[in-house]
Amino acid sequence: MPKKKKPLDRLTDLTWDDLEEWAGSRIVGRGRSYQKQGRVSDLAMTDDGALIAWVQGSRRYATKVVVDEDAMLGSVCTCPYGLDCKHGVAVVLEYLEHIEENRPIPGASKDDERLLLLEHEDWDDDEENHLPEDFQKEIEAFLKSKTKSGLIELVLELARQYPEMAQDLADRQQVASGNAKALVTRLRREIRDMADEPGWQNYWRGEGYTPDYSGIRTKLEALLKAGHADDVLAVGGELLTTGTRQVEESHDEGETATEIAACMPVIVRALDRSSLEPAGKLGWAVDAVLKDQFGVCDAFAEYLHRKHPKAAWNALADQLLARLRTLKRARNENRFSSDFARDQLSDWTIHALERARRSEEIISLCEAEAEKTGSYDRLVRRLIDVGRYEDAERWIQKGIKATKEKWPGMASSLRGKLLEIRTRQKDWPAVAAIQVETFVRHPSRRTFTDCRKVAAKVKAWPTIRGRLLDYLERGMLPWKQKGWPFPESGLDAPEPSRQDRFPMIEELIDIAIYEKKPDMVLHWYDQLPQRRRSFGWYGIGEDSIAKAVQSYAPDRAVAIWKGLAERLIAQVKPSAYREAAKYLRKAGRLMTGQKKQEEWRQYLQDLREKHARKRRLMEILDALEGNRIVKKRR
């Protein structure tokens, strides 16, 4: 009887496809880079058959990989991601390399430091690093057993071993003695130094730099705890200025912004405890939010939605109204940026008026601002909410006239507001007329289905459907055709643009897919010019076409997926190979279902011969064929 494999032994059967199914292709790519760069060290096996290792990322992390009886993978890590991360992938690949090269893997001792760290992997880095309760009790009991001199000796020993702890103790001593000036000065210098280097990441190569603001956050907490809220607030203002500049210069998908944002709750608590008057506190928070372009100050926006004294809101509203009256566009300032900034300021003014219970002033403010910045949508929304439909319609017409040339998106939103009014009034013929005009302006599956929904109210779907398809095929406007059953919408009726080309093949394909008519999908697809197939288009893609016709015309679906994959492979980059694999996998499943396994295998072999030098592509093809990561030895 063959010996039963242990769960960990089953990793030798692992394919790249298995690995990507577990962690996702992007994480597998990063983990692969980490392992190749030699970032995994001290790989060991635990008594219960798990793997542990150190993995060097932006810091050194302890990582553990487990395999259950069903060969399902799982990993835990001391990194912020925590579970099934790139560090776990790197450990799996390091283990497989050891196996392939026949290198021994030592056992881990029960008191291995990594196991202790991972035992408490639920510590929350985003909070205040509270110890788990049972672990805290153990430490507390240990410290209580020490004499005073023993405690001093222990603390000094730890301070010598960990310079950050020594600095933290020195900071605490200065603050406790009432001398916070030195700490504030050093903290400002540290913020400036930290902000000097922008964050960056190259995820494919597993390289990068993210500034670590945890030390600054700790010092701010210490200052605040000692009662120096005003100092923390002053330093917080500098952090916002330098941090915003650093985020603007960084290229790391927001990781630097996240680090800085983690300091903001401390600044918010300092603001709340500061010596500022209540209205001054609210004004400080509004200024922070208005200057924020990167979501760093969300904590201040949350602060402004808390309960504060009515008098403070009243004073803030007066201050913001005064700012709006004197606000002017700077010379050479972009009109769009200027209007956006003014709209933000007026939004917070409205918020303050609401909290001060001065709602009667809001609509007049919105009317004045609509003329200045084109914020008609906000005004109309307010008018609809209080049931002033006639006034809302008047401003809708005025807004459309003012914005349809320069800001067509605003005009479209206003047309939607008239649709909302007619819907509230249950004027279904008018709703149908507006929906049809919306379809002509923006032909799509969504606007087609919107027309179908309202057609059920007026029992006219066959008529409406026929007119919509006539428009897509020949450019015939529905309401200009004889026998159109609906009234005028009251809006500026659209006309076909000179850029519109009929038939609108992409939209006709999409609607045919929606209506589950694969014959019409292929009919219109075959009329699509080859160059537009090759480069794709906005909206429906060839993948959706292949899925729509795979039961009706499987050979056509396979051909479409192969074509998509081959065009991606021709781009000669790993991300394109991964995308190509998705289409090849679909083609392979369909061919296998048709009993064409041999033809499929031959197709993959042809791809291998044609692209033999593309090593990453060969690995992806291995995954498609279910080849193991660990190659069989000869």
Q: How does DSSP assign 174-217, residue by residue? A: HHHTT--HHHHHHHHHHHHHHHTS--EEETTTTEEE----HHHH
Task: Check whether residue 184 and residue 283 sit in a common domain.
Answer: yes
What's the predicted TM-score (pTM) here? 0.68
- Is residue 186 a part of any domain in this protein? yes
Among the candidates 249, 272, 295, a domain finishes at 295
- Is residue 24 a part of any domain in this protein? yes
Task: Check whether residue 561 and residue 634 sit in a common domain.
Answer: yes
Identify whether the C-beta of residue 19 lies closer than 8 Å to the C-beta of residue 629. Answer: yes
Task: Check whether residue 283 and residue 176 sit in a common domain.
Answer: yes
380/360 Cα distance (integer angstroms): 15
User: Looking only at Cα atoms, what is the longest distance across the chain?
Assistant: 101
- Is residue 228 a part of any domain in this protein? yes
Strands 73-77 and 200-202: unpaired
What is the DSSP code (8-state) at residue 83? B
28/93 Cα distance (integer angstroms): 10
SS3 526: coil
Task: Check whether residue 291 and residue 199 sit in a common domain.
Answer: yes
Residue 287, domain extent:
160-295
- Is residue 32 a part of any domain in this protein? yes
pLDDT of residue 540: 61
Please provide the distance, in angstroms rounded to a whole number, between the alpha carbons at the two ends of the chain: 25
Report the amino acid identity of residue 17. Answer: D
328/549 Cα distance (integer angstroms): 59
Angle among Cα 606, 590, 579 to the nearest 5 degrees reads 65
Closest CA to 475 of 457, 448, 498: 498
Query: What's the burial of 80, exposed, middle or buried (CB within 10 Å: 0-12/13-18/19+)?
Result: middle
In terms of DSSP H, where are the helices of 356-488?
Answer: 362-373, 376-385, 389-403, 408-424, 428-441, 445-458, 461-474
550/560 Cα distance (integer angstroms): 10
HSE-CB for 34 with a 13 A CA cutoff? 30
Task: Check whether residue 240 and residue 192 sit in a common domain.
Answer: yes
Task: Check whether residue 289 and residue 222 sit in a common domain.
Answer: yes
Phi-psi sector, 331: left (phi>0), alpha (psi -120 to 50), beta = beta
283/322 Cα distance (integer angstroms): 13
Position of tokens 């790519």?
29
78/284 Cα distance (integer angstroms): 37
Q: Give the orientation angle of helix 542-549 with respect to helix 518-525, to 10 degrees.
A: 140
Q: Structurally, how many domains does the chain consist of?
A: 3
626/624 Cα distance (integer angstroms): 5
E strand or H helix that includes residue 507: helix 505-514
Q: Within a 10 A sphere around the Cβ of 86, how many other Cβ atoms?
A: 29
Identify whether the C-beta of residue 431 lies closer than 8 Å to the C-beta of residue 457. Answer: yes
- Is residue 54 a part of any domain in this protein? yes
pLDDT of residue 163: 75
Residue 65 corresponds to which tokens in the numbers above? 């990989």
HSE-CB for 143 with a 13 A CA cutoff? 10
Task: Check whether residue 116 and residue 164 sit in a common domain.
Answer: no
E strand or H helix that includes residue 505: helix 505-514
5/223 Cα distance (integer angstroms): 57
- Is residue 388 a part of any domain in this protein? no
Among the candidates 93, 122, 151, a domain finishes at 122
Q: Give the orientation angle of helix 574-593 with respect to helix 554-569, to 10 degrees.
A: 160
E strand or H helix that includes residue 604: helix 597-610
Report the amino acid identity of residue 177. Answer: S
209/202 Cα distance (integer angstroms): 9
- Is residue 617 a part of any domain in this protein? yes
E strand or H helix that includes residue 53: strand 51-56
pLDDT of residue 203: 64
181/174 Cα distance (integer angstroms): 9
* Total H helices, total E strands in the chain: 31, 6
In terms of DSSP H, where are the helices of 196-297?
Answer: 214-225, 229-249, 255-261, 264-273, 278-291
- Is residue 469 a part of any domain in this protein? no
Residue 109 corresponds to which tokens in the numbers above? 């001792």
Position of tokens 């800085």?
260
HSE-CB for 576 with a 13 A CA cutoff? 11
E strand or H helix that includes residue 307: none
DSSP string, 450-502: HHHHHHHHHT-HHHHHHHHHHHHHH---GGGSTT--S---SS------TT--S
Task: Check whether residue 104 and residue 191 sit in a common domain.
Answer: no
Task: Check whether residue 199 and residue 96 sit in a common domain.
Answer: no
Closest CA to 40 of 54, 30, 51: 54
In terms of DSSP H, where are the helices of 107-180?
Answer: 113-119, 133-144, 148-161, 163-176
Among the candidates 295, 313, 334, a domain finishes at 295
108/114 Cα distance (integer angstroms): 9
Report the amino acid identity of residue 565. Answer: A
Peptide bond into 104 cis (omega under 30): no
398/395 Cα distance (integer angstroms): 5
Task: Check whether residue 167 and residue 279 sit in a common domain.
Answer: yes
Residue ranges in the chain modelled with pLDDT below 50: 1-2, 121-130, 535-539, 633-634
Report the amino acid identity of residue 319. Answer: Q
Task: Check whether residue 171 and residue 286 sit in a common domain.
Answer: yes
Beta strands in 480-616 (DSSP E): none
Task: Check whether residue 21 and residue 113 sit in a common domain.
Answer: yes
